[in-house]
């Protein structure tokens, strides 16, 4: 039986920093207000005239170099993004071309902030089946492209970045072991970009009404995020006969420090087991979990039991159980 192991991880963030003091000069907010409510001090912003693919190409090139993988060896690239360069072609195809993955198929998935975990689940299935041997999963998010910097309830939250993993087969039981995922379409009104799609194509009216910016109802999202990330984490743990004491690391989507703390507390996880980097990057949507893993990869040891969990628009959410092998 084949298992999908994580053979490498890499990330890329832009050089430009937008900190709370700078934001306070753009909108009615303050460092204290932002820090106490969401735990963010700064976020990275891609000021270059480029899309999410630019971030993804940089991250994937770092991954190929760090794993000594030639571009021609990669069979498949899956890109998770809510900020594609274009409605078509896929951002995955642009990243694959930009990295010289001449033998790889590539496509996008859109599962909002849960996108990277969903893409990992896809990659795991391909590897288990024997269809592909080297799969790159990349999340690339230019969140600044959809943020209204006149709306203090959302502009404080998001940053730009990309991160990726190389998934390969192994006969040992390690890597991506199991995952659970759920979706509830009733969440649509609470977290959505109203304009630009086929339901509301771009018009002067949609522009005037700000429908091309991210819209979020914070209270509803907070309530569902805490409950759903907790439940999916417990579900995947129970399904694999592991309890809280067995978990070495808990790595949640970096959406909001209050959400992270609430989920960890209700799960009975000590802060020493929870990996967090939201302070410096903000919410990078699908890129947040692999970006956090890349930052802390030197702390992870072979055999560590890890639970990853995320929640995003849709609503869509889930959790993965991983046994580390890097």
Beta strands in 110-231 (DSSP E): 135-142, 160-170, 175-183, 191-192, 215-216
Active-site position among 20, 61, 83, 253: 253
Which of 113, 155, 164, 292 is flagged as catalytic? 113
User: Is 253 one of the annotated active-site residues of the chain?
Assistant: yes
In the chain, DSSP assigns E strands to 3-12, 17-19, 42-44, 76-80, 105-109, 135-142, 160-170, 175-183, 191-192, 215-216, 249-252, 305-312, 316-323
234-254 residues labelled b (16+ CB within 10 A) or e (exposed): bbbbeeeeeeeeebebbbbbb
Residue in 231, 280, 283, 292 annotated catalytic:
283
Contacts 24+ apart (CB under 8 A), 272-280: 273/247, 273/248, 273/249, 274/249, 274/250, 275/249, 275/250, 275/251, 275/299, 276/39, 278/38, 278/39, 278/40, 278/254, 279/39, 279/40, 279/41, 279/42, 280/41, 280/42, 280/43
What residues act catalytically? 113, 253, 283
């Amino acid at each position: 039986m084949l298992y999908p192991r994580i053979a490498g991880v890499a990330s890329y963030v832009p050089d430009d920093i937008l900190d709370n003091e700078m934001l306070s000069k753009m909108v009615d907010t303050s460092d204290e207000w932002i820090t106490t409510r969401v735990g963010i001090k700064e976020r990275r912003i891609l000021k270059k005239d480029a899309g999410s693919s630019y971030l993804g190409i940089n991250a994937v090139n770092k991954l190929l170099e760090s794993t000594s993988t030639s571009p021609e060896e990669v069979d498949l690239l899956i890109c998770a993004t809510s900020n594609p360069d274009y409605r078509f072609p896929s951002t995955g195809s642009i990243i694959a071309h930009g990295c010289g993955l001449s033998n790889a198929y590539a496509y996008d998935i859109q599962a909002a902030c849960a996108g990277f975990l969903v893409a990992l689940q896809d990659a795991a299935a391909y590897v288990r089946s024997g269809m592909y041997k080297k799969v790159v999963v990349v999340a690339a998010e230019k969140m600044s492209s959809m943020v209204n910097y006149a709306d203090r309830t959302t502009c404080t939250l998001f940053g730009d970045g990309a991160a990726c993993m190389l998934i390969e087969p192994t006969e040992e039981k390690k890597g991506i072991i199991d995952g659970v995922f759920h979706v509830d379409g009733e969440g649509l009104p609470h977290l959505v970009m109203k304009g630009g799609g086929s339901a509301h194509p771009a018009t002067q009216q949609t522009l005037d009404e700000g429908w091309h910016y991210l819209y979020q109802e914070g209270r509803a999202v907070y309530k569902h995020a805490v409950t759903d990330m907790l439940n999916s984490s417990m579900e995947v743990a129970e399904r694999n006969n592991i309890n809280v004491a067995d978990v070495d690391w808990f790595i949640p989507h970096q959406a909001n420090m209050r959400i992270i703390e609430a989920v960890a507390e209700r799960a009975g996880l000590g802060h020493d087991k929870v990996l967090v980097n939201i302070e410096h990057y903000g919410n990078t949507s699908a890129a947040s979990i692999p970006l956090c893993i890349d930052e802390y990869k030197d702390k992870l040891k072979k055999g560590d039991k890890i639970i990853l969990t995320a929640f995003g628009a849709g609503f869509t959410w889930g959790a993965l159980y991983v046994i580390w092998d890097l």
